[in-house]
Amino acid sequence: MRLLLIRHGDPDYERDSVTPKGEREIAFLADKMESEAVSAFYLSPKGRAQRTAAATLGRLGRTGVTCGWLKEFTTPVRLPGTGEEHLIWDFMPSVMERYPDLYSAERWQSVQFIAESGVPEAYAEVCRGIDGILEEHGYRRKESYYEAVSPNRKTLAFFCHFGATGIILSHLFNMSPVALLQHFCAAPTSVTTVYTEEREQGIASFRCASYGDVSHLYAAKEPPAFSGRFCETYDNFEERH
């Protein structure tokens, strides 16, 4: 089985849609998706993801299923000392250094300010959601792997968000989502491709073949949007700090 995790186009957060640049991006994405044999489409309920999916679905004459758990992962935590609200992909390096358990697949949810937030419950909701879809298509979660109940070569496409993609990947790979989200960034309309590997009969694990692919933008000479990144050098105050 193959999973395509697709981020929405360049976002207009105020309107929960995409910018004029985003409109160009989603058209180029639809060009790419025309050649994909997708068995089923799943959509975030957020407007920017719905708009992005509509360009592809309209081109293909297809429909998708909207899943509430695919919404952006915006459950905040409050940092000790300051009480500042942060999302789990927006920690300064000093916070990661102070709380090394954030890198641990086993202990990240036990870090006090994580445990006291709504993050564990929200994380579990996403895990249940993706596991439910995978079970519908022949793969049942069992501890740290999936039982290949009905192994297949289907392709499933998910139109969602940077944070939601990171949460899904962390569950599939048995990793801390904090570590993954701190160190990976996927540009708008990027496509992340994950395959099952059934190297032992009946046991499936997932492997990422490409993360944040924007080759469709490069092919169209459309530069990727900066959204999702932070300043490359501290002295550039035009970029997000």
* 103-141 pLDDT, tens digit each: 999 999 999 999 999 999 999 999 999 999 999 999 999
Tokens of 1: 């089985």
Average pLDDT over residues 171-191: 96
Amino acid at 61: G
Q: Is the pLDDT assigned to residue 237 strictly greater than 80?
A: no
Amino acid 240: pLDDT:
72
Q: Is the pLDDT assigned to residue 231 strictly greater than 80?
A: no
Can you state the angle between helices 119-136 and 162-173, rounded to 10 degrees? 70
* 36-55 pLDDT, tens digit each: 999 999 999 999 999 999 99
Tell me what percent of the residues of the chain surpass a pLDDT of 70: 99
- For the ranges 162-171, 214-223, 232-241, the lowest mean pLDDT is seen at 232-241
Amino acid 23: pLDDT:
98
- Strand segments, DSSP code E, in the chain are 2-7, 11-12, 17-18, 40-43, 65-66, 77-78, 85-86, 139-142, 145-148, 155-160, 191-200, 203-213
CA distance 26 to 223: 13
Amino acid 239: pLDDT:
67
Asked whether the whole model's pTM tops 0.75, one would answer: yes
Average pLDDT over residues 152-169: 97
* DSSP reduced 3-state for 122: helix
CA atoms within 13 A on the CB side of 55: 24
CA distance 11 to 188: 8
Amino acid 233: pLDDT:
80
* 58-87 pLDDT, tens digit each: 999 999 999 999 999 999 999 998 999 999
Place of tokens 């801390």: 176
* 1-24 pLDDT, tens digit each: 999 999 999 999 999 999 999 999
The rounded mean pLDDT for the chain is: 95
Determine phi and psi for 97, rounding to 5 degrees: -70, -35
Q: DSSP states of 168-207 as a string? A: HHHHHHT--HHHHHHH----TT-EEEEEEEEEETTEEEEE
- What is the CATH architecture of 2-219? 3-Layer(aba) Sandwich (3.40)
Tell me what percent of the residues of the chain surpass a pLDDT of 90: 91
